[in-house]
């Protein structure tokens, strides 16, 4: 993973551990096959088993991950026994800690994402990005940005009526096809604290229809004080690589990574770098990209 991913995950785990060690989801080794309460999900096409402590928590996790649910019987060749490296366990949290479960669910999402990224390393170009697609043609946009700069908000505002691909990681495979990861949305609280993991369906989002393919790449920079409309520039290929690569995971694992990324940039007609104030300002660009055809 990139340094930004490692720093973010380490920081969040440290904050949670300092507050309550019992809230941390941890990697399971041998208990997954016999666990009573499990939820199997797909993270960028990789099956991950979530082990939970009780039926109530299982219902919560299934609701949050409803667009990623997988058949448990299909794990590891159909025997129902997942790879131990693709299991995450949610530890019980104290009932008197109001932020215990939200914090645990946030870190759970990070752990599932990490497993998915590790499984796709060297196979896909993976952007720290949100993404939406046209339900009928599959034309898709990936809006790339660091954490906390508006990807989830843009997804909530612009996503209804379109296919929801992710608010965190867009994985682009061969032939520019996207492997969807419609995880729970991680919504920041205005007052701080853990993010609220939110079911996509609860905010009007739906899964992709036609197979999504990358039609456009956008680099987002949010400026709440921006006067007037969005500022859009078109950096060249070399500048685009320099801007995109810090927001990518496992780029060095890709064969001939810089050439591969440069070729992708060429195929999507270059990168749009957008400075904007609020998500509605992105609507015309999103509509234009999703109207493209192959």
Q: What is the β-pairing status of strands 26-27 and 206-207?
A: unpaired
pLDDT at 13 over 80: no
pLDDT-based confidence at 78, cuts 50/70/90? low
Q: Averaged over 37-46, what is the pLDDT?
A: 96
Q: Averaged over 260-267, what is the pLDDT?
A: 98
183 burial type by CB count under 10 A (0-12 exposed, 13-18 middle, 19+ buried): buried
Boundaries of every domain in the chain: 3-120, 125-290
φ/ψ of residue 238, rounded to 5: -65, -45
Whether 194 contacts 102, CB under 8 Å:
yes
pLDDT at 18 over 50: no
CATH topology (fold) of 125-290: Rossmann fold (3.40.50)
Structure tokens at 30: 């041998």
pLDDT at 23 over 90: no
pLDDT at 30 over 50: no
Three-state DSSP string of the chain = CCHHHHHHHHHHHHHHHHHCHHHCCEECCCCCCCCCCEEEEEECCEEEEEECCCHHHHHHHHHHCCCCECCHHHHHHHCCCCCHHHEEECCCCCCCCCCHHHHHHHHHHHHHHHHHHHHHCCCCEEEEEEEEECCCCCEEEEEECCCCCCHHHHHHHHCCCCEEEECCEEEECHHHEEECCCCCEEECCCCCCCCEEECHHHHCCEECCCCCEEEEEEEEEECCCCCCCCEEECCCHHHHHHHHHHHEECHHHCCCHHHHHHHHHHHCCCEEEEEECCHHHHHHHHHHHHCCCC
pLDDT at 4 over 50: no
Tell me what pLDDT residue 35 has.
75
Q: How far apart are CA 179 and CA 182, in angstroms?
A: 10
Compute CA distances 167 → 21, 100, 197, whole Å.
27, 23, 11
Q: Averaged over 85-110, what is the pLDDT?
A: 92
Tell me what pLDDT residue 71 has.
87
Compute CA distances 192 → 85, 97, 103, 187, 206, whole Å.
32, 16, 12, 11, 28
Percent of the chain topping pLDDT 70: 86
Percent of the chain topping pLDDT 90: 78
pLDDT at 264 over 80: yes
Nearest one of 180, 159, 183 to 65, comparing CA atoms: 183
Lowest model confidence (mean pLDDT) among 52-56, 168-172, 189-193, 287-291: 189-193
pLDDT-based confidence at 267, cuts 50/70/90? very high
Tell me what pLDDT residue 21 has.
35
Tell me what pLDDT residue 75 has.
66
Structure tokens at 199: 């079911």
Q: From the centroid of its chain, how far is CA 211?
A: 18
Q: How far apart are CA 181 and CA 174, in angstroms?
A: 16
Q: Averaged over 63-74, what is the pLDDT?
A: 92
Tell me what pLDDT residue 76 has.
60
Tell me what pLDDT residue 2 has.
46
pLDDT at 7 over 50: no
pLDDT-based confidence at 80, cuts 50/70/90? low
Dihedral class, residue 122 (left if φ above 0, else alpha if ψ from -120 to 50, else beta): left
Please list, residue by residue across 8-22, b when 16 or more beta carbons sit within 10 angstroms of its beta carbon and e when fewer do.
bbeebeeebeeebee
φ/ψ of residue 231, rounded to 5: -105, 120
């Amino acid at each position: 993973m990139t340094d930004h991913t490692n720093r973010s995950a380490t920081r969040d785990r440290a904050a949670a551990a300092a507050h309550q060690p019992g809230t941390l989801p941890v990697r399971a080794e041998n208990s997954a096959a016999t666990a009573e309460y499990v939820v199997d999900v797909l993270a960028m096409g990789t099956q991950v088993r979530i082990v939970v402590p009780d039926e109530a928590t299982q219902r919560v996790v299934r609701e949050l991950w409803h667009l990623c649910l997988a058949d448990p019987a299909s794990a590891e060749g159909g025997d129902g026994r997942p790879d131990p490296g693709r299991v995450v366990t949610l530890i019980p949290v104290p009932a008197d800690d109001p932020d215990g479960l939200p914090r645990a669910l946030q870190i759970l999402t990070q752990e599932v994402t990490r497993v998915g990224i590790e499984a796709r390393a060297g196979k896909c170009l993976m952007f720290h990005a949100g993404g939406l697609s046209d339900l009928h043609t599959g034309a898709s946009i990936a809006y790339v940005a660091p954490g906390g700069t508006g990807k989830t908000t843009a997804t909530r505002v612009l996503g209804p009526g379109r296919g929801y691909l992710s608010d965190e990681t867009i994985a682009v495979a061969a032939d520019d096809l996207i492997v969807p990861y419609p995880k729970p949305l991680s919504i920041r609280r205005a007052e701080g604290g853990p993010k609220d993991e939110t079911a996509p369906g609860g905010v009007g989002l739906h899964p992709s229809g036609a197979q999504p393919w990358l039609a456009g790449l956008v680099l987002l920079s949010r400026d709440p004080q921006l006067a007037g409309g969005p500022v859009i520039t078109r950096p060249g290929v070399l500048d685009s690589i320099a801007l995109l690569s810090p927001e990518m995971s496992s780029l060095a694992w890709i064969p001939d990574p810089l050439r591969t990324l440069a070729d992708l940039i060429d195929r999507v007609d270059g990168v749009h770098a957008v400075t904007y104030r609020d998500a509605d300002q992105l609507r015309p660009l999103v509509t234009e990209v999703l109207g493209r055809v192959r």
